């Protein structure tokens, strides 16, 4: 296009020259001489240069060529100012990179759909996160039993298909049939036969699970994830059709899912294997949940037919739910059951992004991080604007001359904006590399205990688009004020006093930006201080157990089909052999251990009490099964009575140990020892001891009422109930080890494998790491906010230093006069420092109220600290003031060293 424009302009010039030549020839024929004919032709034709300019400006593409000129000019200016360009690009790279890395996580967690066909058609029945097995009425239903799923599927024709899958992912022990060695732990999922077809997922090798696989007595089949196939079996094609032993039963691998498919939910450590729901009894034996109407353990997602109205479908499934619940209550439901059924509700929620586990957990934190990173970028923009203002003010002579020579002001404005946009785009390009590293760091902080997270650290196309748009907006934001200053140059005034100080008015925009930086920096520093102190309070509170010198072993038992006698033999061996491992001082095991993201709770019946209290509420409590030595091993103090010990066998009297909260809630003014309660019958368990409160699931709240009972103490009828029977399967082993113990993991794994090969070790970690894993989200917020806060402080300090140093340079002559007239050097230094501190003080005056108001938004993120904590506010203020003092003192000392003679000579 530019070549065509050049040819067109050349053609026009050549045509003008041809007309002149013809006119000159005609005049020569009329008798004029050679020179006179040429001059006369020029006079008759007019100003050729003006005609060429008129032709040039008449082109509709002139703005594009002028833009090209402005871009070339801006590149030349940036290349000549390498120091300025480097500082500006680095500052923008940090700001844009921080925002892009946070947006990468926001996009993956909050905005991205599942990699499935037509995700907009997918709707989930329920919008809650109930997990993993519950019973009774839910109020807002979001988790279902298998019989209820079948009823809803068969009675809601508005869905093309409706699939069910397990709410909590089970762990499987897996080994290839015929291969010697211990099984490996894998994450699995039980799904309905139409699960993959409902999502529109086709196998990359073999086939997926089909409806015929999900029926009684169908051959056992499984589908493997591409990641497991690649990492554990090196993409071996012979895996397809091979037999694998999964949790003790043989399954044929019929296919492998596509590489991008991670299941129905974005979560860390997604499934490695998918099994049909019909295979759940094969894996769990008598503990199967499949045909139990009163055990809810499945999520449901359906694909609506095209044109179906979600509101009408929601009303229909709610009617079906109530009909089913009434039928379950019997032919003559009580009035209370009728009232409870009337309160049950299903919300039909869009499920294009799957089940929103991560969204619910990280939504508030991600919004906070986006706000914090946005403030950092705003501070960076203010800093770059200051640098550009300094450049524009220093180049006011050149700009004034251009205006005096007729340059239009809009060209100066456009050149300034073009330079700003180029800087921003360069900073954005560099910010992509910062974002790549930043996203990886964020993922490591957010999912520290995970072995795999299905979120790509490399920027995707939407993330790249976000970075590009952010760069454009950033360039306009920090280029707007310098462009406005460029448009206000007065040629006459600038040329009259080009080198004179123009007073404080010329630096007012720059000082205002410094004030803004100081205010925003204070807000971020206060946020960082509050979140860091909150995290420290969470981690170092009194938990009721001791993490020092403790190791936790997470196991997956494949005990389906084990008799109580066989289980007792396994547990007896664990009690005998675990303490024999070198370096182990004591050992115990439990259904679950503290702060391991598990909790069992149930209604209880207290002997001598009516089933409900005066308010009409039943009694309930959390509970755990533990082995002898459990409380000693985890460091929970026994307060009264005795702990569970070797006397408590399946054939001895049934006993329980309760915590302080249990006593305060149910026996506030009574002696608890000797009292009896039960899960089904009032006299099942006798309280023999009281231990101190310990937090097991909720680090922010008080300890829950909890009782502890021995393994295998169950009535014969209880063994027929899948939930109660399954409570005798251990999932955690606790070891108290010597400080000098080394390389325990191999010894632990070997010993447990020798005791029972169906007891697969999933994870070995310290108790402190297990506790710390509960605060990954809080740690992510605290550390990133602290990083953003100190980054903002550094940028603001550099900006304050820059404007102060620039002010000293501009006022060199004035300072020289002051010194020549008798001002002491300390007075000069004090004058400069006071100016810097004044700007900071103005920033504090704005920032302190803003920080107090904004901190209230953090209230639900804090623990053990008030949003208006004066200590954090004071520390942030002192830190900002100290940095301002240093930023002002360096230019102040430089001003104090000015030689008045040299300063006056420069005037």
Q: Write the pLDDT tens digit of every residue in 390-440.
A: 766 655 666 666 666 656 666 777 777 888 888 888 888 888 888 888 888
Q: How far apart are CA 8 and CA 3, in angstroms?
A: 9
Per-residue model confidence as pLDDT tens digits over 875-897: 999 999 999 999 888 888 888 88
Question: What is the per-residue pLDDT for 50?
Answer: 62
Q: Examine the pLDDT at 359 and tell me if it is beyond 70.
A: no
Give me the torsion for CA of 281, 284, 287, 288, rounded to 10°: -30
∠ CA(867), CA(871), CA(875), 5° rounding?
110
Q: Per-residue pLDDT averaged across 586-601, rounded?
A: 92
pLDDT over 80 (residue 382) = yes
Q: Looking at the predicted structure, is the pLDDT value of residue 59 above 60?
A: no
For residue 132, whether the previous peptide bond is cis, meaning omega lies within 30 degrees of 0, is yes
- Least confident stretch, 53-62, 499-508, 556-565, 647-656: 499-508
Which pLDDT belongs to residue 485?
66
First to last CA, the chain: 50
The more confidently predicted of residues 164 and 442 is 164
Range with lowest mean pLDDT among 1-10, 29-38, 827-836: 1-10
Between the CA of residue 615 and those of 557, 612, 618, what are the distances in Å? 41, 8, 9
Task: Output the pLDDT for position 491.
Answer: 62
**32-51: average pLDDT:** 69
**C-alpha neighbours within 13 Å on the C-beta side of residue 464:** 5
> Do the strands 273-276 and 184-191 form a parallel or antiparallel pair, or are they unpaired?
parallel
Identify the CA nearest to 96 among candidates 463, 514, 531, 510. Answer: 463
Contact 868, 533 (CB under 8 A): no
pLDDT digits (tens, 9 = 90+) for 114-171: 889 999 999 999 887 777 777 778 888 989 999 999 999 999 999 999 999 998 888 8
What pLDDT, on the 0 to 100 scale, is given for residue 22? 75
- Kindly state the average pLDDT of the residues 43-69: 63
What pLDDT does residue 401 have? 64
pLDDT of residue 502: 47
What percentage of residues in the chain have a pLDDT greater than 90? 38
With 60 as the cut, is the pLDDT of residue 505 above it?
no
pLDDT of 395: 57
pLDDT at 818: 83
In contact, 680 and 718? CB cutoff 8 Å: yes
Q: Give the residue-averaged pLDDT of 559-588.
A: 90
pLDDT at residue 846, rounded to an integer: 93
- pLDDT band at 609, cuts 50/70/90? confident
> Do residues 112 and 455 touch, judged by C-beta distance below 8 A?
no
Helix (H, G, I), strand (E, B) or coil at 165: strand
Residue 333, pLDDT > 90, answer no
CA 590/CA 563 separation, integer angstroms: 19
CA distance 242 to 178: 10
Would the pLDDT of 501 be above 50? no
29-43, 286-300, 313-327 — most confident range = 313-327
* Torsions phi, psi for 618 (to 5 deg): -80, 170
pLDDT tens digit sequence for 197-221: 999 999 999 999 999 999 988 999 9
What average pLDDT does range 685-712 have in this prediction? 94
The residue that leads in pLDDT, 437 or 299, is 299
3-class SS string, 874-896: HHHHHHHHHHHHHHHHHHHHHHH
- Cα dihedral sign for 501, 502, 506, 508? positive
Compute the half-sphere exposure of residue 818: CA atoms within 13 Å on the CB side of its CA. 19
Strand residues in 558-613 grouped as ranges (E):
584-590, 600-606
pTM of the model: 0.79
Which residue pairs, CB below 8 angstroms and at least 24 apart, start in 496-503?
498/396, 498/397, 499/906, 499/907, 500/813, 500/907, 501/810, 501/811, 501/813, 501/814, 502/810
């Amino acid at each position: 296009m530019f070549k065509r424009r050049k040819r067109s302009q050349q053609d026009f010039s050549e045509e003008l020259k041809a007309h002149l030549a013809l006119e000159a020839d005609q005049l020569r024929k009329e008798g004029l001489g050679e020179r006179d004919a040429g001059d006369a032709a020029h006079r008759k034709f007019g100003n050729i240069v003006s005609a060429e300019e008129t032709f040039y400006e008449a082109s509709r593409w002139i703005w594009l060529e002028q833009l090209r000129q402005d871009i070339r000019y801006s590149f030349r200016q940036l290349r000549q100012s390498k120091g300025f360009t480097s500082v500006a690009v680095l500052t923008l790279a940090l700001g844009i990179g921080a925002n892009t890395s946070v947006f990468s996580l926001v996009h993956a967690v909050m905005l991205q759909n599942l990699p499935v066909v037509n995700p907009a058609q997918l709707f989930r029945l329920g919008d809650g996160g109930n997990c993993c097995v519950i019973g009774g009425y839910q109020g807002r239903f979001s988790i279902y039993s298998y019989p209820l799923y079948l009823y809803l599927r068969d009675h809601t024709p508005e869905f093309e298909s409706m699939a069910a899958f397990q709410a909590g992912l089970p762990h499987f022990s897996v080994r290839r049939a015929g291969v010697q060695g211990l099984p490996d732990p894998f994450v699995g999922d039980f799904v309905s036969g139409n699960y993959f077809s409902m999502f529109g997922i086709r196998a990359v090798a073999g086939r997926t699970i089909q409806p015929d696989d999900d029926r009684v007595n169908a051959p056992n089949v499984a589908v493997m994830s591409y990641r497991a196939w690649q990492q554990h079996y090196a993409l071996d094609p012979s895996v397809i059709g091979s037999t694998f032993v999964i949790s003790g039963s043989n399954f044929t691998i019929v296919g492998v899912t596509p590489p991008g498919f991670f299941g129905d939910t974005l979560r860390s450590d997604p499934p490695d294997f998918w099994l049909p729901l019909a295979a759940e009894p094969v894996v769990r034996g008598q503990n199967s949940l499949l045909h139990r109407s009163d055990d809810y353990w499945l999520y449901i997602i359906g694909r609506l037919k095209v044109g179906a109205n979600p509101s009408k479908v929601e009303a229909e499934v709610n009617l079906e739910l109530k009909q089913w619940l009434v039928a379950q209550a019997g032919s003559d439901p009580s009035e209370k059951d009728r009232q409870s059924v009337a309160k049950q509700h299903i919300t039909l929620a869009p499920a294009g992004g799957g089940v929103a586990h991560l969204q619910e957990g990280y939504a508030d934190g991600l919004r906070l991080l986006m706000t914090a990173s946005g403030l950092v970028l705003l501070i960076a923009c203010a800093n770059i604007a200051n640098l550009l203002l300094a450049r524009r003010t220093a180049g006011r002579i050149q700009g004034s001359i251009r205006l005096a020579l007729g340059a239009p002001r809009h060209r100066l404005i456009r050149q300034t904006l073009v330079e700003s946009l180029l800087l921003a785009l360069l900073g954005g390009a560099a910010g992509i590399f910062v974002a790549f590293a930043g996203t990886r760091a964020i993922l490591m902080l957010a999912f520290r205990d995970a072995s795999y997270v299905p979120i790509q650290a490399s920027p995707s196309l939407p993330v790249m688009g976000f970075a590009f748009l952010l760069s454009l907006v950033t360039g306009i934001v920090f280029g707007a004020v310098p462009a406005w200053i460029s448009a206000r140059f007065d040629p006459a005034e600038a040329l009259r006093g080009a080198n004179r100080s123009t007073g404080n008015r010329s630096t007012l925009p720059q000082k205002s930006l410094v004030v803004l930086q100081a205010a925003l920096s204070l807000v971020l520093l206060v946020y960082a201080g509050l979140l860091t102190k909150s995290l420290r309070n969470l981690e170092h509170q009194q938990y009721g157990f001791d993490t020092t010198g403790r190791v936790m072993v997470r196991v997956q038992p494949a005990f389906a089909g084990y008799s109580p006698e066989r289980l007792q033999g396994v547990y007896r061996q664990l009690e005998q052999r675990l303490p024999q491992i070198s370096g182990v001082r004591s050992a115990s095991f439990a259904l679950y251990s503290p702060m391991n993201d598990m909790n069992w709770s149930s209604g209880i019946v207290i002997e001598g009490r009516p089933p409900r209290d005066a308010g009409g509420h039943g009694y309930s409590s959390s509970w755990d099964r533990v082995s002898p030595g459990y409380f000693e091993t985890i460091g929970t103090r026994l307060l009264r009575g005795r702990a569970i010990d070797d006397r408590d066998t399946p054939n001895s009297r049934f006993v329980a140990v309760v915590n302080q909260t249990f006593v305060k809630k149910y026996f506030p003014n009574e002696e608890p020892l000797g009292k009896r309660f039960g899960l089904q019958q009032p006299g099942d368990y006798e309280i023999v001891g009281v231990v101190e409160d310990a937090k097991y699931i909720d680090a922010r709240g008080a300890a829950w009422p909890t009782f502890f009972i021995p393994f295998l103490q169950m009535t014969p009828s209880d063994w027929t109930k899948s939930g109660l029977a399954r409570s005798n399967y251990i999932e955690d082993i606790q070891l108290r080890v010597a400080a000098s113990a080394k390389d325990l993991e191999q010894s632990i794994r070997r010993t447990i494998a020798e005791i029972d090969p169906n007891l697969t070790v999933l994870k070995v970690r310290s108790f402190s790491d297990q506790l710390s894993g509960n605060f990954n989200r809080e740690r992510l917020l605290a550390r990133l906010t602290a990083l953003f806060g100190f980054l903002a402080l550094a940028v603001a300090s550099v900006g304050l230093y820059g404007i102060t140093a620039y002010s000293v340079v501009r006022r060199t002559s004035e300072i020289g006069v002051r010194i020549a007239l008798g001002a002491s050097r300390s007075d000069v230094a004090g004058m400069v420092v006071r100016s810097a501190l004044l700007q900071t003080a103005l920033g504090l005056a704005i920032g302190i109220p803003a920080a107090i108001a904004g901190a209230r938004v953090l209230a639900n993120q804090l623990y053990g600290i008030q949003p208006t904590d004066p200590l954090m506010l004071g520390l942030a203020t002192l830190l900002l003031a100290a940095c301002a003092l240093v930023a002002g003192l360096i230019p102040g000392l430089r001003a104090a060293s000015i030689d008045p003679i040299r300063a006056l000579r420069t005037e």
